[in-house]
Amino acid sequence: MGVDAGIVRKAGAWFTYGDDQLGQGKENARTFLITHPEVASDIEHKIRVKLGLDASDEVPEGIDPRTGEVVDSPASELVDAKA
């Protein structure tokens, strides 16, 4: 997936990310990522961003970060005041 997204480079059997040689062959690259979780996390984050799947760390005001529901927004206060 990283190769398809252009994040990880593949040359022959070698997988490379930035200046890091991940390994020769999929299994060696996989082992490298297991033993270097910070690199794996960085690659995963970049893939998610590229695919538009990464949620922003910032939650807009009036949104419950746990549920994503609107809470105490000015518009809901106006509706409550009219009732």
pLDDT one-digit tens code per residue, 17-49 = 999 999 999 999 999 999 999 999 999 989 888
Instruction: Please report, rounded to a whole number, the percentage of residues in the chain having pLDDT higher than 70.
Output: 66
28 sits in which H/E element: helix 26-35
Domain that holds residue 35: 9-82
Residue 4 lies in a domain: no
Phi, psi angle pair for 23, to nearest 5°: 150, 165
The two tokens of residue 12 are 């022959």
Residue 63 lies in a domain: yes
pLDDT of 75 > 70? The answer is: no
Q: What is the CATH number of the domain that holds 17?
A: 3.30.250.10
The whole-angstrom separation of Cα 1 and Cα 76 is 43
Residue 48 lies in a domain: yes
The pLDDT score that the predictor gives to residue 16 is: 95
Residue 28 lies in a domain: yes
Q: What mean pLDDT comes out for the span 55-80?
A: 60
Residue 17 lies in a domain: yes
The pLDDT score that the predictor gives to residue 83 is: 53
Number of domains in the chain: 1
Q: Is 17 helix (H, G, I), strand (E, B) or coil?
A: strand
CA dihedral 20, 24, 30, 33 (to 10 degrees): -10
Q: For the whole prediction, is pTM greater than 0.85?
A: no
Residue 37 lies in a domain: yes
Residue 53 lies in a domain: yes
Who wins on pLDDT, 55 or 44? 44
